Structures are given as structure tokens and as C-alpha cells.
């Protein structure tokens, strides 16, 4: 039911956005003398929405496979002969049962000196929780509990689907505005160069608008971390969740580069970047802010 409500809100939001864009473009094109493009706009809207959302959902469907390949994740079977690894699987599954997940997540480990973990997968019934070898080596049991419960909370909250919807909208906007800009610029150059200019502006526009759109994506990524922290505190304990974040804060003060890239928004943490502009592109809130939020919360 919660998933259907989220999809319904998404569809309504997109309808309103597309109607708004249509109205604004009609006004702008009238005053700029670009009315000839009006018949092209509805097709372009549909094209960008289909491809923008399609690309985001294809990424979601491939998320587990990509994460496994990108990080070299090795899946741990519940009957693994190593008692520590078997206990890790049992803990994840215990938190998953507390969160009411319909199916137990896969559990994996990947080689990295970084202390981190992530959750991914296309649905609550098809998910993965992966931890780094560095996390297992450098965190105690209480801290590990906090991390694992946090990642299970991401799955329980439906964060992978929510972020995909947001990314799909951003993709659609980036494609739409870059092509509108390309048409405007190309219409003002010599006809023999029009095709090249149009292509160049589309590529540069896709990059620029996607970069700007990442500010929106990262804002929602930061907000969901607070919810996952609260969930981690419920499924494990507030003390475990705070202890995990405090360990991350102490370790991340050291000059060890974190592994981010394709799964940055999925990780439990990334390094705090300095500067007001840089903070707009942070996928996670500062660790001290997250700790303070947990300390103030009423669980």
C-alpha cells in the first residue's frame, strides 16, 4: 500500500510538472517568437519522461548486479562454515525480520580498507546488504549492529525505489531542457552548422543539467539518511547507531580516501566536504549532525 501511494504521488507530481512546463513554455515561446516549436513540445516531454524514467528504472533493476561487480561483493551463504560470517548473515536477517521485510536480503562482503556498507536492490523482496572487510576488522559488535540495522532500514523504507523516482524526474528535466536550449541556440546559427551545434549543445546541456539536478538528488539522499539512522536505532538500539556513527567520525578524520563513485548514495557515510557549494553535492549529512539528531530523538 505504501508503495502504491508513493507511485501515485509520483505520477501526480509528474503530471503537474509537465502541465506547468507546457504553460510556461507557451508563454515564453509567444514572447520570444518561438511558437513554431509548440507542436514539438508535447512529443519532447513524452520522449524525455519515457527515457529519463526508463534509464533510472533500468539502473534500479541492475543495481544488485552492478554493485556486486563494482565492489567485487562475495555473497555469504547462511550456512557458511566461517562462524563470524554466518553470524553476520544471521544479524542482517534478524534486523530484516524486525523491519518486517517480506524476504531476507542477500548478505555480502567486499575487500576494502574503508569502513563502510551499503544496501541496494530493486525491491524489498530482492535486496542486498554488503559490508567492507575494513568494517568487520575495525568495528566492534555494537558498532556493526548499528551499521547493519541502518542498511536494513534503507530497504524497509523503500529508499532505492524512492531515489530511482527522483533520479528519473531529474533525468527527464535534464533531457528536456538541454534539447530546448539546443533548438534555441541552433536556430540562431548558419543552417550548415545547425546540426553540429545542436548535437554539441545537447551533450553539454545533458551534462550541465544533470549536474545541477544532482543537487536535488543529493538533498533527498541526505534526508533519507536521518530516516535510516532512526530505523537503525529502532532495529538495533540508539546506542549502537550512535556508536557506529561516532566510530565513522573518528576514522574519517584520518587521511584515508573513501570509496564512493557509483554507490555513494547507498553507503552509510561519506566524508564531509567543506564549503557551502560543496555541501550541496554531499550525499550524506555531516556525521556530527546525524549523531545530534539521534541524541535528540524520542525513540
Q: Is 151 a catalytic residue?
A: yes
The number of C-alpha atoms within 13 Å of 274 and in the hemisphere containing its C-beta is 0
State the catalytic residue, choosing from 106, 143, 151, 259.
Answer: 151
Contact 49, 172 (CB under 8 A): yes
Contact 200, 178 (CB under 8 A): no
Instruction: Say whether 30 counts as a known binding-site residue.
Output: no
d(CA 38, CA 213): 25
Taking CA atoms, 166 is separated from 2, 49, 122, 217, 287, in Å, by 17, 12, 15, 6, 24
Instruction: Say whether 225 counts as a known binding-site residue.
Output: yes
Q: What is the DSSP pairing of strand 117-123 with strand 74-75?
A: unpaired
Residue of 200, 297, 277, 285 whose CA lies nearest to 245: 285
Residue of 257, 179, 264 whose CA lies nearest to 214: 264
Taking CA atoms, 270 is separated from 24, 118, 260, 281, 283, in Å, by 39, 11, 7, 11, 7
Residue numbering of the annotated binding site for Zn(2+)? 150, 154, 225
**Residues of each annotated binding site:** 150, 154, 225
Catalytic residues: 151
Amino acid at each position: 500500500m505504501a508503495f502504491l501511494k508513493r507511485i501515485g504521488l509520483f505520477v501526480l507530481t509528474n503530471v503537474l510538472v509537465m502541465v506547468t512546463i507546457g504553460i510556461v513554455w507557451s508563454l515564453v515561446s509567444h514572447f520570444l517568437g518561438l511558437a513554431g516549436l509548440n507542436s514539438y513540445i508535447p512529443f519532447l516531454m513524452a520522449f524525455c519522461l519515457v527515457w529519463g524514467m526508463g534509464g533510472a528504472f533500468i539502473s534500479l533493476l541492475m543495481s544488485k548486479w552492478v554493485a556486486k561487480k563494482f565492489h567485487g561483493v562475495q555473497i555469504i551463504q547462511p550456512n557458511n562454515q566461517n562462524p563470524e560470517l554466518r553470524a553476520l548473515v544471521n544479524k542482517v536477517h534478524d534486523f530484516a525480520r524486525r523491519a518486517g521485510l517480506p524476504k531476507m536480503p542477500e548478505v555480502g562482503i567486499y575487500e576494502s580498507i574503508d569502513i563502510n556498507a551499503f544496501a541496494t536492490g530493486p525491491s524489498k523482496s530482492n535486496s542486498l546488504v554488503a559490508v567492507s572487510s575494513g568494517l568487520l576488522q575495525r568495528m566492534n559488535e555494537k558498532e556493526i549492529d548499528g551499521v547493519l540495522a541502518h542498511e536494513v532500514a534503507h530497504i524497509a523504507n523503500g529508499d532505492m525505489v524512492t531515489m530511482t523516482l527522483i533520479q528519473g524526474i531529474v533525468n527527464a528535466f535534464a533531457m528536456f531542457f538541454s534539447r530546448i536550449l539546443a533548438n534555441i541556440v541552433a536556430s540562431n546559427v548558419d543552417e550548415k552548422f545547425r546540426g553540429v551545434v545542436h548535437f554539441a549543445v545537447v551533450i553539454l546541456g545533458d551534462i550541465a543539467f544533470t549536474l545541477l539536478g544532482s543537487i536535488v538528488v543529493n538533498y533527498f539522499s541526505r534526508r533519507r539518511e536521518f530516516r535510516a539512522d532512526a530505523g537503525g536505532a529502532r532495529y538495533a538500539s540508539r546506542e549502537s547507531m550512535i556508536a557506529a556513527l561516532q566510530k565513522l567520525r573518528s576514522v574519517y578524520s584520518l587521511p584515508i580516501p573513501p570509496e564512493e563513485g557509483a554507490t555513494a548514495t547507498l553507503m552509510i557515510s561519506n566524508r564531509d566536504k567543506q564549503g557551502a557549494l560543496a555541501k550541496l553535492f554531499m550525499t550524506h549529512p555531516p556525521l556530527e549532525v546525524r549523531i545530534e539528531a539521534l541524541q535528540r530523538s524520542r525513540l
